[in-house]
């Protein structure tokens, strides 16, 4: 009987946690002292495909007539960020450079319902003749909750676009694809891939490690009064 009571209590506690929203905050940063490593490799043209994902909805647009699925993942204003000190420490460091700092609100969903959130960083290419609006970072993060909290991460970070000399190449056949700036014939790209799954605990910092770049993530529960716990 005592075991049954404990089981039911645990089930009720779990249901309460899953009914609450989460705030997910992540910082993606570059390792400025990254060396050559087997995890940093060369690929020709198109990047590996990422899972189907959604874009974050800004807080200012969250009250508009959007689909229920879209409204579940709302980008939080910077006033709600909790890792500003971590971001600032990376920014003044000589070893790291922060690339993306973002936080969003989402429901606690299990493996079958949780969405991948798409994060990208686009910057002006120094070689405008061949590349424009170069996608420096592209990837997805999914936070899912069942009996335990997990983060699924798949990030692609472009280290360097490299021209490849070819007798048959000319300017007309080296123009970038508007849909995929990296899908350029006769071009290679050196990029780093970070693909991992980690079990998380609420309110703790977690670090996804890679020689070229890294990800810091923290998940907090938001109660009915929108206060982070």
Span 38-67, pLDDT tens digits: 555 555 556 678 999 999 998 655 555 455
Specify the pLDDT at position 67.
57
Is 45 within 8 Å of 108 (Cβ atoms)?
no
Q: In the chain, which residues have pLDDT < 70?
A: 1-19, 35-47, 59-71, 124-134, 161-189, 223-229
Query: What pTM, to 2 d.p., does this model score?
Result: 0.75
The Cα–Cα gap between 23 and 79 comes to 13
Specify the pLDDT at position 176.
47
The Cα–Cα gap between 185 and 151 comes to 35
Specify the pLDDT at position 49.
85
The Cα–Cα gap between 58 and 56 comes to 6
Span 23-43, pLDDT tens digits: 999 999 999 887 655 555 555
């Amino acid at each position: 009987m005592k075991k049954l009571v404990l089981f039911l209590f645990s089930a009720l506690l779990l249901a309460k946690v899953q009914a609450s929203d989460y705030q997910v905050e992540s910082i993606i940063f570059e390792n400025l002292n990254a060396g050559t490593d087997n995890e940093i490799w060369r690929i020709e043209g198109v990047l590996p495909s990422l899972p189907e994902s959604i874009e974050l909805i800004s807080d200012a647009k969250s009250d508009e007539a959007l689909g229920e699925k879209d409204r579940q993942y709302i980008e939080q204003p910077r006033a709600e960020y909790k890792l500003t000190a971590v971001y600032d420490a990376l920014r003044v460091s000589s070893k790291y450079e922060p690339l993306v700092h973002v936080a969003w609100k989402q429901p606690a969903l299990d493996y079958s319902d949780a969405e991948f959130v798409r994060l990208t960083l686009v910057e002006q290419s120094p070689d405008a003749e061949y590349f424009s609006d170069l996608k420096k970072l592209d990837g997805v993060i999914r936070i899912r909750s069942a009996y335990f909290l997990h983060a699924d991460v798949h990030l692609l970070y472009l280290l360097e676009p490299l021209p490849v000399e070819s007798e048959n190449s000319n300017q007309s056949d080296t123009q970038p694809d508007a849909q995929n700036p990296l899908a350029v014939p006769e071009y290679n790209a050196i990029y780093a891939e970070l693909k991992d799954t980690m079990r998380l605990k609420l309110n703790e910092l977690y670090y996804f490690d890679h020689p070229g770049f890294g990800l810091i993530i923290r998940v907090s529960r938001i109660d009915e009064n929108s206060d982070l716990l």
